Structure 1
Amino acid sequence: MQLSDRIGRRIKLQDLHILMTVVQAGSMRKAATLLNTTQPAVSRSIADLESAVGVRLLDRNPQGIELTPYGRALLDGGEAAFDELYQAVKNIEFLADPTAGEVRIGSITPLAAGFIAAIIGRLSRHHPRMVFHVVATQVETLHRELTERNLDLLIVPRLDLFNDDQFTFEALYETSYVVAAGADNPLVKRRRIELAELMNEQWVLPPPESALGPIYSEAFRKSGLAYPRTTVVTMSPEVRMSLLTSGRFITIFHDDALKIAPQRPEIKALPVRLPIAPVANGIVTLRTRTLSPVAQLFIDCAREVAKPMAKRK
């Protein structure tokens, strides 16, 4: 009997689920506790899987278990299979009731507060039973969550982090970057400021090695300047905005961060020309993943909401 025949007849989804739990837990004993079953039952499921594929999937050692290369290959395929089944169930739910369903979106905070909120506002009016799971966090975390299929799609700036062949990027509209300060900062009253004049100011910036770092570094490099001495190093846009309101700090934001005003009228753009080309904001998805109809509906709405913004650019 060929391997493909053994797989079709003998591999069980439950056994794959048990393998995934064993790897997550680090031992069969802990996995048995999580699954509310016995350790012999867990061992039997792993043995059945190994018999079905004809190779050892786990190495046992005093510290617990470790996947063999064969086990890693099966686990990767198993995770993708479970995700596809999850999407299939969601597709069935959507076909049964096109007005319902859920979508999981990831983005950075300024885009989530502005652009994504506008999409949700439009969709929820026409599909009040749709559920939107929005994760607003750093792009490095979004990259991991999308890769692990915990999110359906991202709305983010075009960054090198997503240039890998496993991703697709669809540009929606472009955004520019500005130097920002609190409304009480004396610099706000200036009519024109050169970037070099700000090198001794109290900067709040992400670390240059972060995903956004190269964009900021380019602005200083093209102005013949080094990355400034940073008083506060943080990835959090909320922390940066909060510090700006004190009137003592400055930072660089893309202008979407200021467009979520009037809830933050105390943040102002300074009259500084940054030599940074506009950066595209767009949709990132996994190339090999089939999106649910609800996720596709969200993408279609995102394109419509972005059209007037793209024309303004």
Structure 2
Amino acid sequence: MKFDPRHLEILAAIVEAGGLTEGAAMLGKSQPSVSRSIAFLESRIGQRLFEPKRRPLRPTAIGLSLAQEGKKILEAGRAASTIADTFARGVAGAVRVAGTPIFMDGVISGVIAEFQGNYPNIRIDQSYAYADEALEKIAQDLLDLAILPMRPGTYSDDFAFHQILPGRNVIACRTGHPLAGQADLKSRDVESYPWIAPPANSPLFSDLRALLDRIDQREMKIGFTGGSLSAVLNVLVGSDSLTVLPFSVVFMLQRQNRIAALPIEIGDPERNLGILTRRSANPHMAARRFTDFITSRFDTIQREIAAAV
């Protein structure tokens, strides 16, 4: 014999609430419709579900047993409502975000950790991408947003880009480097040291080439090439190598007293760090909450950088 789950849910609500009117109110239904559902269910099984002429209502043995099954449906409905509510309020869900490896590992990952401390039920699906790939994935709805450095005018009107940090690069080295702490350094002072080169397809690689051209160091002495920030840092702190990094990354890592920025002006890139989204998209609440958190946190980071400079 098959039962309509809605009838069992109604039975459970009546038993839990202690009456037809109360059960109807619990479910947001009218009392007559609830009475009809119980009458139909009794006709279906050929037995009474409640003892006659008893107030408050008292379920029969079969009524109680069926109500216990209906309670599972009732509780599942409540759980589903709670889940839907958390997603609607943006305190649960999943956010798909990508960005360049150096920024994601050096700055964004720490902010993600802070975000999840506040919103542990929001999953962050993070990947790496440079601008062209990020634009394509956002257009295909494979990403909710990207956090990466971009130049104005390198994306169409289909996309929105909200700047969160001005672009600035520095020459980085280990804290005990022979050049660290020296004042009045000149660009020629770095000529004898090897360089750690970012990946050839990264914006930082272009910045390094431009820097070496400006200081007329055409023979780049590359001691290491590596894609991950952790690999770059391990080589940087264990050698006298130099590299070019975003100042925000160096600023965050300076707290560990492992690396430093040399006081040599190398010119700021035209790119600025920002949040890239599709203009026509209607982001879900978790993505909105994450975007707002990133924006707010970087407002604080920008003030900290300004105070330290």
Aligned residues: 223
Corresponding residue to 1:135 among 119, 122, 127 = 127
1:62-103 Cα distance to aligned partner (Å, 9 max, x none): xxxxxxxxxxxxxxxxxxxxxxxxxxxxx9675556421111
Quote the offset at 1:121 in angstroms: 4.6
Aligned to 2:95: 103
Q: Answer yes or no: is the 8 Å Cα contact 1:152–1:291 preserved in 2.
A: yes
CA separation in 2, counterparts of 1:232 and 1:309? Answer: 30
Is residue 105–residue 135 contact of structure 1 (8 Å, CA) maintained in 2?
A: yes
The runs of 5 or more residues in structure 1 that have no matched partner are: 1-90
Contact preservation (8 Å) 2:167, 2:269: no
The residue aligned with 1:267 is 259
- CA offsets 1:93-151 (integer angstroms, 9 cap, x no match): 75556421111121234433454345435543543322222225666665565455432
Partner of 2:202: 210
- Superposition deviation, residue 252 in structure 1: 0.8
TM score, norm. by length of structure 1: 0.59
Q: How does 1:86-165 map to 2 (within 5 A)?
A: 98-113=90-105, 115-117=107-109, 119-136=111-128, 142=134, 145-146=137-138, 148-159=140-151, 163-165=155-157
Distance 1:229 1:287 in 2: 43
Change (3 A) 1:275 1:115: closer
Give the corresponding residue for 1:180.
172
Q: Deviations over 1:230-273 (max 9, x none)?
A: 23233332222111112221111112222333674222222222
Task: Work out the CA distance in 1 between the residues paired with 2:197 and 2:151.
Answer: 17
What SS does the aligned partner of 1:299 have?
helix
Cα distance, 1:185–1:126 mapped onto 2, change above 3 Å? closer
Give the TM-score normalised by structure 2. 0.59
Residue 229 of structure 1 and its aligned partner are, at CA, apart by 3.2
8 Å CA contact retained: 2:151, 2:272:
no
Q: 2:235 aligns with which of 239, 243, 246?
A: 243
* Cα root mean square deviation, aligned: 3.4
Bigger mean CA deviation after superposition, 249-258 or 184-193: 184-193
Structure showing the higher strand proportion among its residues: 1
Distance 2:256 2:162 in 1: 30
Deviations 1:133-183 (A, max 9, x none): 222566666556545543211111125895355543210122421111123
State the SS of the aligned residue for 1:261.
helix
8 Å contact 2:147–2:276 — kept in the other structure?
A: yes
Residue 299 in 1 paired to residue 291 in 2?
yes
Range moving further from structure 2, 198-207 or 220-229? 220-229
Partner of 2:274: 282
State the Cα distance separating 1:220 from its structure 2 match.
3.3
Give the letter for the 1:280 counterpart: N
Percent of counterpart pairs with the same letter? 18
8 A Cα contact 2:138 2:278, kept in partner: yes
* Aligned counterparts of 1:235 and 1:118: Cα–Cα separation in 2: 19
Tell which structure's C-alpha radius of gyration is larger: 2
Partner of 2:142, secondary structure, is coil
